[in-house]
Amino acid sequence: MSEENDKEVLFEVTEDHLDTGLRGVPVGTCRTSFVDPKKGVHYCGYPVGDLADMDPEDVIFLLFEKRLPNRQESQDFRHELAQRAARLPTGALRVLESLTPSSGHPMDWLSIGIQALGVAETTGDIRADGLNLISRMPELMATIFRLRGGRGLPEVASEPERGMVENFVHLLGMDGVDAERMTRTLRVFLVLHMDHGGGNLSTFTGKAVASGWASLYASISSAMNALSGPLHGRANQSCLEFVQRIGTSDEAEVESFVRKELAARRPIYGFGHAVLRAEDPRAAAQFKLGEEICPDDENFQTVKTLRIVAPRVLSENPKISNPNANVDIASGTLLNAVGFHKPDYYTTFFGWARVAGISAQILDERNARGGRGTPIYRPKYYAADPTIRRLE
Ligand code: AMX
C-alpha cells in the first residue's frame, strides 16, 4: 500500500515500458474472463476446459450474465437468440454481393459485413445490439463463405432454432461433408475462442472504440480488423500451413524440421504465448477432440509429434518464455479434417467466437461507474524527444 492514498500499487511504470505496446501495464478490470499464466483462461471463474463441450449459447449466456443458465434459462436464451436472428437486411447483403468474390481476405469481408449490418440495424442499446449481432453471425458467416466461393446466397432458409452452429452448417450447404463432425468441431472451437481477458489486441481495440460511444457494430467491426493481423488471430491460418509443410509425423524428421526453421529465424507456429507460461488448456481440449474426430488424420499425427518435439527444442533457448503448445496448434488441423480446407477462413471462426466475448465486455464497460461507462480511452504518450519531455 502507498502511504499517500492507501491504494495498492499494482505496477511501477518506468521509461522501459514506453513503446512496448502496453505490455503487461494494467489498465482495467475484466468481468468476463481472466487468464492465469499456468492454468489458462477462465470464463467467469470456470476453467475453459470445463466448458469446452457445452452449448455455445450457454457459454454466451455465462459471459453476459456471469453465471451459467439453468435448464429453463438455457431454453429461453436459445429462443431469444433465434427470435433475434431475423434475415440479414437487404442492404447488408447488397454490400457483400458487390464485393468481388476472390478479392480481399475473409476477415475483411467479416468486418465489412458487421459494419454493414450496423448501418441497417443499430439500436444504440448495447445489450440488444450485441445479442442481435451474435444471432446474425451464423447467417453472415455462411453468406460470406458462399459468396466468396462463387456459390451465391444460401439456398435454404435460415433455421435459427436449430442452434447457432447447426444453422451455419445448414446454411453453408456443403456437399460431401459429415455435418455432425463439422458441427461438433465448430461448437468446441467457438466455446474455446470466445474470450481471453481484456488486454488482447482485438478485445482492447473493440473496447477502446466503444469507449468513445461508437456503436456496438462499429466497435466489433474494428475489433475484427485488429484480429485480422498475422501476429494476432491470423496465426491459426499460418499454423495449418506450417503443419502441412512438415508433412511427416516421424519424430526425428519433425525435430530436424523444427531446428531448420529456427536456424532460418522463422517461428515455430503453435508454440509460445505472450502471457501463458504452460501448455494452453485450449490446446489440450483440441487434442482431446482430435482423438475423437480425426485420430488417423495425417496432419493430426504431425501435430501430436510436434507437441512432444517442439517444447523440447524450444526449451533450449532461454529467451523463449513459454515453449509449450498454444491455442493455434491444432485448430486448423481439426477444421481441415472436418471439411474446411481453406486456411484463410479460419480466422473468421475466431472472429465469430470473439463477437460474444467482446460484446459482453463492451456491455460491462458501458454499465461501469453506475451506468456512466468507462471514460473514453486516453493513454499518455510522451514526446519522442527527451528534451521536450523534460519541459512538460
Ligand atoms: N518460435 C520461434 N521463436 C519464438 C517462439 C516460437 N514459437 N516463441 C517465442 N520465440 C522467440 C520470440 O520471437 C522472441 O524472439 P526475439 O527476442 O528475437 O524477439 C523470444 O523468443 C522471446 O519471446 P517470448 O517473450 O517468449 O514471446 P513473445 O511474447 O515475444 O511472443 C508469440 C509470443 C506468440 C508471438 C511467439 O511465441 C510466437 O511467435 N509464436 C509462434 C507463432 C504463434 O503460434 N502465434 C500464435 C500465438 C497464439 C495467439 O495469440 N493466437
- Domain annotation for the chain: domains and CATH numbers: 48-233+343-371 (1.10.580.10), 235-337 (1.10.230.10)
pLDDT (0 to 100) of residue 388: 81
Cβ of 189 below 6 Å from ligand 1 = no
pTM for this predicted structure: 0.95
* Three state DSSP letters for 337-350: HCCCCCHHHHHHHH
Using CB atoms within 10 Å of the CB of residue 58, give its burial: 0 to 12 exposed, 13 to 18 middle, 19+ buried.
middle
pLDDT digits (tens, 9 = 90+) for 46-66: 999 999 999 999 999 999 999
The alpha carbon of 269 and the centre of ligand 1 are apart by a number of angstroms equal to 9
Across-strand partners of 42? 34, 47
Q: Considering only CA atoms, which residue is closest to atom 40 of ligand 1?
A: 272
Contact indicator for 249, 299 with CB cutoff of 8 Å: no
The alpha carbon of 263 and the centre of ligand 1 are apart by a number of angstroms equal to 15
pLDDT digits (tens, 9 = 90+) for 73-88: 999 999 999 999 977 8
Nearest residue to 243 via CA among 290, 182, 304, 295: 304
Amino acid at 189: F
Sorted by sequence, the CB contacts under 8 Å of residue 49 that are 6+ apart come out as 40, 281, 282, 284, 285
> What b/e readout covers 14-45, taking b as 16+ CB neighbours within 10 angstroms?
eeeeeeeeeeeeeeeebbbbbbeeeebbbbbe
Q: State the Cα–Cα distance between residues 101 and 109, nearest whole angstrom.
A: 10
Q: State the Cα–Cα distance between residues 160 and 332, nearest whole angstrom.
A: 26
Q: Considering only CA atoms, which residue is closest to atom 2 of ligand 1?
A: 267
Q: Considering only CA atoms, which residue is closest to atom 13 of ligand 1?
A: 267
Most confidently modeled of 13-17, 18-22, 68-72?
68-72
Catalytic center residues: 232, 273, 328
Report residue 6's pLDDT band, with 50, 70 and 90 as the boundaries: confident
Sorted by sequence, the CB contacts under 8 Å of residue 97 that are 6+ apart come out as 147, 153
Q: State the Cα–Cα distance between residues 177 and 137, nearest whole angstrom.
A: 21
